[in-house]
A = this chain, B = another copy of it.
């Protein structure tokens, strides 16, 4: 079928490729035009604006929005909505907060347009193995976009999980779990690195655990690769970014009264990884000096 892919970042670029490889007609737009040119060379139809991208489709049209969450997505959705006519639809596939989807969808519905939120997981490997896709929206809209999901996802790898917002909600929880799984692995390998046995082959152990152990997982496969690149991880700084989903997961767990200590701790540890000198620790050092005369390290 036809689709416009708005945004050719790390995710959108490869998704456009996978759609092209699946035989779809893909119109692409990106803020920096060089990526558009690249995709045109691979068979896509280029556009110089969001409006033009949409206009190159025939009605009823499907637009896939794949931009950074927040203002960029808000503004793009506004422009898309202005261009669409009734029976057209948008698929918001970026990392939007599910509560924003509820607002966005309302505007599209009011104009008689469709709105789907699609949470997409798979990272840079999605092009090859397919993207796990969590879809929220109305039945008739999801039915219409089905050929796209069938192409993007691996077998059994996409699901209509519920009404609008639920796709991003489920993806958000996925990322919350991802943070904590990564932290679990990180802590375990830290203990092996600093524990009693010198010279454990950590990459080999990551690979080993991928074969028949209870914790076998894709993350361990990736870690095997990472250790192959750098057996000591000596070139890597322990600086870990976090995106919105990890935060939203914990915010939501508080809102709904769900205890998520491990998800929260995984988030906080990322915060600290980026702070040179954690202020709370300074307070502790100051206190220890006051009551115990313990020396403090000065800068």
Which chain A residues (255-299) contact chain B, with CB distance < 8 Å?
256-273, 275, 277-294, 296-299
| A240 & B189 in contact (Cβ 8 Å cutoff) | no
Decide if A291 touches B212 in the complex (CB within 8 Å): no
Q: Which of A24-32, A103-111, A225-233 contacts B (4 or more CB under 8 A)?
A: A225-233
Interface pair B261/A184, CB less than 8 Å apart: no
Instruction: Give the shortest distance, in Å, between A65 (CB) and chain B (any CB).
Output: 20
In angstroms, how far is the closest chain B Cβ from the Cβ of A179? Answer: 8
Interface residues on A, range: 35 or more
- With A190-B283, A214-B218 known, 19 other A-B pairs at CB within 8 A are A154-B211, A161-B197, A174-B213, A181-B185, A186-B279, A186-B287, A190-B280, A217-B217, A223-B283, A226-B286, A226-B287, A235-B299, A237-B296, A257-B271, A258-B279, A260-B280, A261-B269, A262-B269, A272-B272
- A196 and B257 alpha carbons, distance in the complex (Å): 11
> Which listed residue (B161, B183, B279, B286) contacts A223, Cβ 8 A?
B286
Is residue A236 within 8 Å, beta carbon to beta carbon, of the partner chain?
A: yes
Copies of this chain, complex-wide, total: 4
Contact A132 B208 (CB under 8 A): yes
Cα A175 to Cα B282 with chains together (Å): 19
- Could you say which residues of chain B place their CB within 8 Å of the CB of A252? 191, 195-196
Among B211, B239, B275, the residue within 8 A (CB) of A132 is: B211
**A residues bordering B, Cβ < 8 Å?**
10, 98, 121-126, 129-132, 134, 153-159, 161-163, 165-166, 169-170, 173-178, 180-197, 199-201, 204-205, 207-219, 222-223, 225-227, 230, 233-241, 247, 249-254, 256-273, 275, 277-294, 296-299
Minimum distance in angstroms from A194 CB to a CB of chain B: 5
A270 to B280 alpha-carbon distance, docked (Å):
10
A283–B185 touching, CB < 8 Å:
yes
Instruction: Tell me, in angstroms, the Cα distance from A275 to B281 when the chains sit together.
Output: 12
Q: A130-B212, A209-B132, A238-B279 are in contact. Are A293 and B173 (CB under 8 A)?
A: no
Q: Report the Cα distance A271→B286, complex, angstroms.
A: 17
Greatest chain B CB density within 10 A among A155, A184, A204, A219 is at A184
Report how far A207 CA is from B131 CA in the complex, Å.
14
| B211/A155 in contact, CB under 8 A | yes
Known: A223-B290, A296-B239. A211 touches B261 (CB 8 A): no
A223 to chain B, nearest CB (A): 6
Q: Within the assembled complex, what's the spacing in Å between the Cα atoms of A217 and B177? A: 12
CA distance A133 to B83 in the complex (A): 55
Question: Closest CB-CB distance, A132 to chain B, in whole Å?
Answer: 4
When distances are taken between beta carbons in the complex, the residues of chain B under 8 Å from A272 are: 259, 272
Q: Which residue of B lies closest to A183 (CB)?
A: B262
> Given contacts A161-B200, A271-B258, is CB(A284)–CB(B235) below 8 Å?
no
Give bound CA distance, A271 to B257, whole Å: 6
Whether the Cβ atoms of A284 and B238 lie closer than 8 Å is: yes
